[in-house]
Amino acid sequence: MSRPGLILKLSCPDQPGIVAKVAGYAAGHRGNVIEFNQFSDQLGGRFFARMEIETSDLDVEVEDFIDGFGTLGRSLQATWHFRRLPYRMRAALLVTKTDHCLNEILWRTELGELPLEITAVIGNRDNCRGIAERSGLPFHRIDMDGPRRLEGFAEIRELIEAQDVELIVLARFMQILPDDFCRDYAGRVINIHHSFLPAFIGANPYQQAYARGVKLIGATCHYVTPELDAGPIIEQEVERVHHFHTPADLVRLGRNCERVAIARGIRYHVHDRTIIDGARAIVFPD
Amino acid sequence: MSRPGLILKLSCPDQPGIVAKVAGYAAGHRGNVIEFNQFSDQLGGRFFARMEIETSDLDVEVEDFIDGFGTLGRSLQATWHFRRLPYRMRAALLVTKTDHCLNEILWRTELGELPLEITAVIGNRDNCRGIAERSGLPFHRIDMDGPRRLEGFAEIRELIEAQDVELIVLARFMQILPDDFCRDYAGRVINIHHSFLPAFIGANPYQQAYARGVKLIGATCHYVTPELDAGPIIEQEVERVHHFHTPADLVRLGRNCERVAIARGIRYHVHDRTIIDGARAIVFPD
Amino acid sequence: MSRPGLILKLSCPDQPGIVAKVAGYAAGHRGNVIEFNQFSDQLGGRFFARMEIETSDLDVEVEDFIDGFGTLGRSLQATWHFRRLPYRMRAALLVTKTDHCLNEILWRTELGELPLEITAVIGNRDNCRGIAERSGLPFHRIDMDGPRRLEGFAEIRELIEAQDVELIVLARFMQILPDDFCRDYAGRVINIHHSFLPAFIGANPYQQAYARGVKLIGATCHYVTPELDAGPIIEQEVERVHHFHTPADLVRLGRNCERVAIARGIRYHVHDRTIIDGARAIVFPD
Amino acid sequence: MSRPGLILKLSCPDQPGIVAKVAGYAAGHRGNVIEFNQFSDQLGGRFFARMEIETSDLDVEVEDFIDGFGTLGRSLQATWHFRRLPYRMRAALLVTKTDHCLNEILWRTELGELPLEITAVIGNRDNCRGIAERSGLPFHRIDMDGPRRLEGFAEIRELIEAQDVELIVLARFMQILPDDFCRDYAGRVINIHHSFLPAFIGANPYQQAYARGVKLIGATCHYVTPELDAGPIIEQEVERVHHFHTPADLVRLGRNCERVAIARGIRYHVHDRTIIDGARAIVFPD
């Protein structure tokens, strides 16, 4: 992601010739296609693509290249988006008590695996303050218990808007988002749910998993929508468990799944490898 | 499973000294413990064990060894069961249209992986007749559509009773068992459900999985209870899928999960490696 | 694979504009791209693609469409191949004693998962005769022990040539192929090796795995080259094992890996989803 | 591990009655067996067991309980070891440049997953100083390049001895240990190797994996012995990779395997869940 370039993400009604047209536009301006992923959904009748191009040899300005695509995009009745590389996405991380997902995201960001510019860590408890501040990140404690709930979300909104946040990560944030929040930030809020969705929606999924006696537990990284734990799934991960594992053991073992799933989910989103398609997510993994 | 020996399966309220007492009984009669598995459930307060012993050096008759255990078993308030080795379990396989689970069971039985004595393949359709008869097994077509449903199950019962069947395997049998059938054969009916339970209970789980956009599909082998797809889980298996997989692809990919899960589930059951504990199953895998 | 269409497989030196040119050729003749996979190897400087197109609306004959591509292909210095759909690949299966891979291939072929036209099952032992003939396939016993080795391979060649075989599957065939055989049928011989290559090359890999105390065993499906077990890998599969598993247990557990790996490997090859690139194989899975 | 108790680890020649004797000793003194794992190696003729007992109701002092076992232990010709709970194992972590394994160990130790008392982080480079000191741990830089190699190892020994270190973890330590070091600390040095051993022994395993075109990469946590990367394996983990993954991608993806494998390996060792048996390790996982 460090080379100068562009990522194009596009979806449109399927029809013959789209690959040629889209790739042809890039080639026509000497854009070098590094990676091209497409999906022609034979069932849904839609076309989805992600194209990553090097722009060093473009015969026009990058701005003009992007603008010029509009004619083609509109003729395809497409929804599309260009992102300039290199970039880092401005992100706010929302947490409550447990810190393993936060730790994972911070560590991978420092390592360069996740191109994030973390503008804030926001907690409705103080548990994660230490780990955030140790990494030099501002920690915002926002109370939202009981009657303060909506007020709390209003404060979060304010912060997010003030900081131009593009991505909101619920890194084990134990509050249900208000519907209008979900709608206003649709496609920009990623959650990690500590079960293999759609099994064990809601509270205490590990306790539920224990009671049901499942032989595999999991974690699900998904986009947040107003319906609880029902948004498009980006990534899932599972781990084998046995009868001798207590709910506390499931919590311990599940942390691995959660960390891997959220890290991959964020990576795919930030690299524009996801396209939301109704209740599902197209994902072109790397 | 081919050596002369015994398997003891036991559960009882937990208390200190059970391992010593149970193993001591075997040692006291020169039984050689080949494998000993125990689980002290600290949460539920119960003790579970499986002990496999060689009996060639026993200082009493096997029959007397088994009878003599009664005093200890009763003093522990235990439920227990002895099985003599070698043995093959008499089993009836119930099928409808798809044959991959049936094929897997037949193949593993011929190979010696599953010590089954298959007494009958019963189908409410004729699709699996060929594969059953090709393996030299009697195929019973029992109609159970619409008004014939209960009559059909009565015929199945009759057959099962006449053949002294110990294990009933629903190898993709597309009929819901009547409550009394489930109760009368509790712990003796194993089903394969083509989803990662408790997700996607009921009909068309692959279609449900597609609609939900999950990134892993699965299969679940479980004991049958009156509540649909809610019995104790013996084994689960998953496989990664992608957005480009249609429901038909999920059916194809899921077959692997189903075959592996049902084969392992049957093996664990037949080798007395499972103990039902309420809604859960203790499983000591091999 | 049942729709009328074409699969194009292509590799060439990388350069800007290839996607546009290749897709453009199809679009220029009203070929509808169903699936397009590409890989620009930034390290090796080569470009690889697989394109599947519907041909029902082509504005030229399929033959002319294929011929006409030559101009573009040559200008790209490409190696390419077109395959007409639907098709079934003529295959010979070579076996020795164990039948699980053979059984898997036959079953999946009958099911339609593997579009094979199996012309012959060839064994240097008689063990698999039954299973082959039960499926209505001709079984050829060819002795190749000791001094008969080269003669045996000559007979295999004769059979293969007479039957116009396109694909040779070593489904647990326990003979090392002569170098010239490997060279003459390069890219057309698929083997299943019962280890996670490059670990445990050669004989008795499960015994080797047991001695080394590995915690995962595996199987590898690969193209055969003159160097033993060193050809391009198409697929690998692993399974967790424990200290209590004997070499015989590893054989039992490994069969699952072998069956899945060879079935997937054949499927990818037959659907033209593999491109050999030196010691490696590009694989676009479905 | 926080309850007062004892773990017994034992191995001896197999013979009938061992389970009864060992469990009987505990029961005879009112020790409550929480968990009992045994393995009768039918091939090697040895018996291995791990027994975890609560000692709150013992009818003798814990010291006397341990001493008293000697009579039984000697009569079984056993090697055995008792560990008192709760405890934390004194450990030194050796590192070079990469910090992901170190980060994982520190994080899991803080969380309570790994009951370690980390006495020192030792590096032959300064890269990991920051992360160690941020966690409040002393970082010792010991140069060992070229001619300073043996001197460096002497300094490590000195430190380890002075600090009464029980466990030495090579958390991506890029130096080969001298033979005498391996021998003197046999069974107390754990390494993480960044490949699926025995594949890709030695340097640059990810580069080797890329060149070989494997479809799964892995990591191996093992005890260190004088022969390079050949010690008893405690844990292995794998991850699926594709042709488009560069060696740098494999490094990135492999970090997950390494972190999981080393964390589990340390946990099993510290909880006395491993018993070395020649070139293999018996592992009773939790």
3-state secondary structure of B239: strand
Q: What is the ipTM of this complex?
A: 0.94
Task: Say whether C246 and D212 touch across the interface (CB within 8 A).
Answer: no
Set of chain D residues whose Cβ sits within 8 Å of the Cβ of A249:
286
What is the C-alpha to C-alpha distance for residues B45 and B40, in angstroms, rounded to an integer? 7
Task: Say whether B218 and A218 touch across the interface (CB within 8 A).
Answer: no
Task: Say whether B215 and A42 touch across the interface (CB within 8 A).
Answer: no
Task: Say whether C16 and A32 touch across the interface (CB within 8 A).
Answer: yes
Q: Are C219 and C199 in contact (CB under 8 A)?
A: no
Residue C20: which of A16, A23, A40 has the nearest Cβ? Answer: A23
Instruction: Give the nearest chain A residue to D106 (CA atoms).
Output: A103
Mean pLDDT to the nearest integer, C21-48: 96
pLDDT in tens, A90-120: 999 999 999 999 999 999 999 999 999 999 9
Which structure tokens are listed for C272?
């033209």
- Which residues are registered as beta bridge partners of D37? B37, D50
Which element (helix H / strand E) includes C190?
Answer: strand C189-193
Structural domains in chain D plus CATH codes: 5-85 (3.30.70.260), 89-283 (3.40.50.170)
What's chain A's average pLDDT? 96
What's chain C's average pLDDT? 96
Mean pLDDT to the nearest integer, D126-146: 95
Set of chain D residues whose Cβ sits within 8 Å of the Cβ of C218:
216
pLDDT band per the 50, 70, 90 thresholds, residue A1:
very low
What's chain D's average pLDDT? 96
Residue B243: which of A242, A243, A280 has the nearest Cβ? Answer: A280
| pLDDT given for residue B173 in this prediction | 97
What is the C-alpha to C-alpha distance for residues B178 and B91, in angstroms, rounded to an integer? 20
Calculate how close chain B gets to D158, using CA atoms only, in Å. Answer: 44
Selected residue of D215, D223, D228, D236 to mutate for chain C interface (largest C Cβ count, 10 A): D215
- Using alpha carbons only, how large is chain C's radius of gyration in Å? 20
For chain B, list residues with pLDDT below 50: 1
Pairing mode, strands D280-283 and D274-277: antiparallel
Chain C positions contacting chain B at CB under 8 Å are: 35, 100, 103, 107, 111, 113, 134, 244, 249, 252, 256, 260, 286
What one-character DSSP code corresponds to residue D45? T
Task: Say whether C200 and D197 touch across the interface (CB within 8 A).
Answer: no
Question: What are chain D's partners, defined as 3 or more CB pairs within 8 angstroms?
Answer: A, B, C
Calculate how close chain A gets to B136, using CA atoms only, in Å. Answer: 35
Active-site residue, C229 included: yes
Residue B24: which of D20, D38, D42 has the nearest Cβ? Answer: D20
Set of chain B residues whose Cβ sits within 8 Å of the Cβ of D19:
19, 23, 27, 33, 36
Residue C20: which of A20, A35, A57 has the nearest Cβ? Answer: A20
Which structure tokens are listed for A66?
């992007």
pLDDT in tens, B33-58: 999 999 999 999 999 999 999 999 99
Edge-to-edge strands of the sheet including B139-141? B139-141, B116-123, B89-95, B167-170, B189-193, B216-223, B233-240
Q: Are A270 and A89 in contact (CB under 8 A)?
A: yes
Set of chain A residues whose Cβ sits within 8 Å of the Cβ of D134:
134
* A107 φ/ψ sector (left φ>0, alpha ψ -120 to 50, else beta): alpha
Instruction: Give the nearest chain C residue to A39 (CA atoms).
Output: C35
Calculate how close chain B gets to A54, using CA atoms only, in Å. Answer: 27
pLDDT in tens, D56-102: 999 999 999 999 999 999 999 999 999 999 999 999 999 999 999 99
pLDDT in tens, A36-77: 999 999 999 999 999 999 999 999 999 999 999 999 999 999
- State the distance between the two ends of chain A, measured CA to CA, in whole angstroms: 12
- State the distance between the two ends of chain B, measured CA to CA, in whole angstroms: 12
Q: In this structure, is the dihedral angle defined by the CA atoms of residues D124, D127, D131 and D133, taken in order, positive or negative?
A: positive
| pLDDT given for residue D1 in this prediction | 47
Show the DSSP H helices in chain C as ranges.
18-28, 62-75, 100-111, 129-134, 149-162, 179-184, 205-212, 247-270
Q: What is the pTM of this model?
A: 0.96
| pLDDT given for residue D2 in this prediction | 57
Selected residue of A9, A40, A215 to mutate for chain B interface (largest B Cβ count, 10 A): A215
Calculate how close chain C gets to A227, using CA atoms only, in Å. Answer: 32
- The residue from C164, C180, C184, C229 that is catalytic is C229
Task: Say whether A215 and B233 touch across the interface (CB within 8 A).
Answer: yes
Count of CB atoms within 10 A of residue C203's CB? 9
Task: Say whether D233 and C214 touch across the interface (CB within 8 A).
Answer: yes
Residue C2 has pLDDT above 60, yes or no: no
pLDDT in tens, D4-46: 899 999 999 999 999 999 999 999 999 999 999 999 999 999 9
Instruction: Give the nearest chain A residue to C284 (CA atoms).
Output: A37
pLDDT band per the 50, 70, 90 thresholds, residue C4:
confident
Mean pLDDT to the nearest integer, A195-220: 95
3-state secondary structure C210-254: HHHCCCEEEEEEEECCCCCCCCCEEEEEEEECCCCCCHHHHHHHH
- The residue from D67, D180, D229, D272 that is catalytic is D229
Calculate how close chain A gets to D168, using CA atoms only, in Å. Answer: 24
What is the C-alpha to C-alpha distance for residues D9 and D277, in angstroms, rounded to an integer? 13
| pLDDT given for residue B107 in this prediction | 93
pLDDT in tens, B188-240: 999 999 999 999 998 899 999 999 999 999 999 999 999 999 999 999 999 99
Set of chain A residues whose Cβ sits within 8 Å of the Cβ of C45:
none
| pLDDT given for residue B2 in this prediction | 57
Q: Are A87 and A166 in contact (CB under 8 A)?
A: no
